Structures are given as structure tokens and as C-alpha cells.
Amino acid sequence: MGSSEFDITAALAAINAPGTRGGLTTPIDKLGRLKGLSLKDHEKYVSLTMEFRCNLKCVHCMIEGTMDHLKPTSDETFARICQDQRETGRWEGLVLTGSEITLRRDLTELAQQAKSAGFKHIRIQTHGMHLGRTDYADRLVEAGIDEYFVSVAGSDRESHDCITQVNGAWDKMMRGMEHLDQYGHVKLITNSVVTTESYMLLPDMVANLDHLKQLIQMEFWNFFPMAEIDEKGLAARHSDILPYLQEAILACRAGGRYVEVKNFPECLLAELGDALVNAQPTLVIDPAFWTEFDRNEFHQCPHRMDCASTECLGLTSAYIARYGDERELLNPLPQ
Ligand code: SF4
């Protein structure tokens, strides 16, 4: 099924689980501008949140207040999505995520079931620490998991362990990624949350992961609190982030890697605005998550009505409460 034929309404009906949301921002037929610059595969993936425990304590964790009451996607929903995949081949890939999916003891079984249902790619979103047990990483690959979406919080041992608040997290994650890097068919993708603690680390992050041959895309997710106020003071000022982000984007592209930036004003990125990709795979999650998420109140920008961007999410309430609406800095894209 080509991406232009993808029918999100039919997909949501087949999933039939409350809380499921499609994640595309720009309509698929207008996504051509991203060709060659990003994996641009979000509409082809469905993401299931199947584990809400985690054993890191990342300072920027967006769901720390909700983890204890969110319920993982049920085995029945998982089975229904697999059955639908068998019948329709609707999706190209499945993402198994949560808080930390590698805490599920049956992860290899889930991957095998998904693979036999016809998913071409099985991706896990992980902090990567357990991949440092290389025999475990091998078992995941054998079970069919061929894409590893790893959360890299810092640019080295000191900064990563400080942000994740667990000593040894960087070493284990790097050992795992370097081990997986030896598999020619495996893809590595990273995501890094951009906060007041990490924005200045972005160029070093790119440099320190440069040796990973299978690392095909790096993603930089600008932090937003799931609340009206940034109580932890982690949202960095856009103008402070910008020079580091620009350097990181250019370094990724110079190294032949795709890059995606999320939750950052497109106009501030200027000629690098094509790096902004706010799309996400279709997400199956406990509906209670959205009650918290929607407190962000995205799409606040004083120029919204005059701006042609289809991708930009504007500003959040928490950002405006901290820094103002920065109307003089923002430049609406011509209609
Ligand atoms: S003017 Fe506002 S909506 Fe347009 S790109 Fe800038 S921040 Fe986004």
C-alpha cells in the first residue's frame, strides 16, 4: 500500500482501541518536500505502548506523573492489530514502546508474533541500557526487531548519566548500539530531548555518535512540559537553542544522516526549516494520557493566522508563560 493511499479512518476503525490517534501533521501529499531529508515513514507505522515501567529517572521525563496509572495496550488489542495486519498488510512497521519496553519479559515473543503477522519492520523505543547485554540484544535481533529507536539524553558519559540520573547508563547504551551496529540490516535511530540541560550538547552528541554506521536518523525533540507551567524550568529559550540546533542539523546532514526536529518554530530554522517534522506514528495509548498531553496547548503563535506552515506547532502555554510570545522574533511563512 503506497503512502498516498493510506486511510487513517480505516486504520483507526481496525485498531478499535480508545485513545488511538493518528500522528501526521502535514498531509501526506504535501510531504514531498522532505524527500531525502528525513525517513518520512510515520504514516507507515503503528506504535503500541505496552509497558509503563522504567528504570531510568530522566529529569525531562514527560510521563513521570502518569506512569503509575496508565494502562499498557492490552494483549487483545495487540492480537487484533496483528490479525488486521495479516489480512490487510496496512502497516509497514510496528513500534513497541511504553516507558521502557525492554522491561517486558515477553518482548521477543511479541516481536515474533508481529513478524509472523506480516510487519516488515519491528522497532523498539528504548533507553538502550539493556542492549548493553549483547546476548540479549542478539536475541531481540533474532526475534525480528530490526529498528532501535534509542533515547540519547547527553553527549557523553557524564552528561547522559547526569540527565538520566543512573550511573552507567551511557556505557551500557553505547555498548548496545555499537554491538547492534555490526548487523548490516539493523537501523539505529536516536531521539534526544532538548532542554536547558542539553541544548548545548547537541553538536557533541552528533560527533560522538558519528562512528555508528547503522545510525540513519537523529531526532531532536524540543522539550515541553505536560502542563501549563514549566515547573522544572527545563524549557530552553528558542534563541538559545537555535545555534546549537543548526550546528547539529548541519553536522548530521554532512555525515549523510537524516535528521528530524520536533516542537520548534519552523520560521526560526529559516533555510533549515525542512528539518522540522512533527509527525509521529499512529499511537495506541491509554486515553488518560491525552488528558495530560492536551494541557500543553500547542498551536499558540501570534502569527498563526498569517503563517503558511503546515508543520509548525507554534508555542505552548508553558513556553509563553516563561518567555512571552516572542512575536518580534517569529516570522510567519509566506502564504
Ligand atoms: S510564525 Fe508561528 S506558526 Fe509560523 S512558523 Fe513561526 S512559530 Fe510557527
Q: Are 118 and 147 in contact (CB under 8 A)?
A: no
- Please check whether residue 174 is in contact with residue 150, taking contact to mean a CB–CB distance below 8 angstroms: no
Q: Give me the sign of the Cα torsion angle 137, 143, 146, 147.
A: negative
304 lines ligand 1 (CB under 6 A): yes
- CATH number, position 199: 3.20.20.70
Domain assignment present for 321: no
**pLDDT tens profile 249-296:** 999 999 999 999 999 999 999 999 989 999 889 988 888 887 777 777
pLDDT attached to residue 230: 87
Give 291: exposed, middle or buried? Use CB within 10 Å, 0-12, 13-18, 19+. exposed
Residue with cell 531529508: 37
List, in sequence order, every residue forming a beta bridge with 220; answer none if it has no partner: 192, 261
Which of ligand 1's atoms lies nearest the C-alpha of 299? 3
Instruction: Examine residue 65 and state whether it is found in any structural domain, yes or no.
Output: yes
144 lines ligand 1 (CB under 6 A): no
How far is the centre of ligand 1, averaged over its atoms, from the C-alpha of 333 (Å)? 7
CA distance 57 to 164: 5
Q: Residue of the nearest CA to atom 6 in ligand 1?
A: 267
**Which residue minimizes the CA distance to atom 1 of ligand 1?**
332
Looking up cell 516570522 gives: 331
CA of 212 to the centre of ligand 1 (A): 34
Task: Please indicate, yes or no, if residue 225 is contained in any of the structural domains.
Answer: yes
Ligand 1 centre and the CA of 270: distance in Å?
Answer: 11
DSSP letter at 328 equals T
Sheet containing 93-97: which strands, arranged edge to edge? 258-262, 215-222, 187-194, 145-151, 121-126, 93-97, 45-49, 282-284
89 domain residue, yes or no: yes
Instruction: Identify whether 322 is part of a domain.
Output: no
Q: For residue 81, which phi and psi values (nearest 5 degrees)?
A: -65, -40
Structural domain includes residue 167: yes
In terms of residue numbers, what domain contains 264? Answer: 3-295
pLDDT tens digits for range 116-131: 999 999 999 999 999 9
Distance 137 CA to ligand 1 centre (A): 42
Q: Give pLDDT, residue 66.
A: 65
Low-confidence ranges of the chain (pLDDT < 50): 1-4
Strand, coil or helix: 299: coil
From 263, 266, 298, the mutation candidate for ligand 1 (largest count of ligand atoms within 8 A of CB) is 266
Domain membership flag for residue 129? yes
- Taking the C-alpha atoms of residue 188 and residue 206, their distance in angstroms, rounded to an integer, is 13
What DSSP assignment string belongs to 163-180?
Answer: HHT-TTHHHHHHHHHHHH
**Is the CB of 309 within 6 Å of ligand 1?**
yes
> Looking at the 3D structure of the chain, how many domains does it have?
1
pLDDT given at position 289: 81
Q: What is the rounded distance in angstroms from the CA atom of residue 184 to the CA atom of residue 241? A: 34
The pick from 301, 310, 319, 325 for probing ligand 1's pocket by mutation, whose C-beta has the most ligand atoms within 8 angstroms, reads 301
Phi, psi dihedrals of residue 283, rounded to the nearest 5°: -115, 125
Spatial distance between the Cα atoms of 259 and 206, rounded to a whole number of angstroms: 10
CA dihedral 205, 208, 209, 212 (to 10 degrees): 170
- Backbone torsions φ then ψ of 179, nearest 5 degrees: -65, -50
| Residue 87: inside a domain | yes
Cα pseudo-dihedral 168, 171, 177, 178, rounded to 10? -160
Q: What's the pLDDT at 12?
A: 87
Q: Do 225 and 320 contact (CB within 8 A), yes or no?
A: no
Going from the Cα of 269 to the center of ligand 1, the distance in angstroms, rounded, reads 10
DSSP at 48:
E
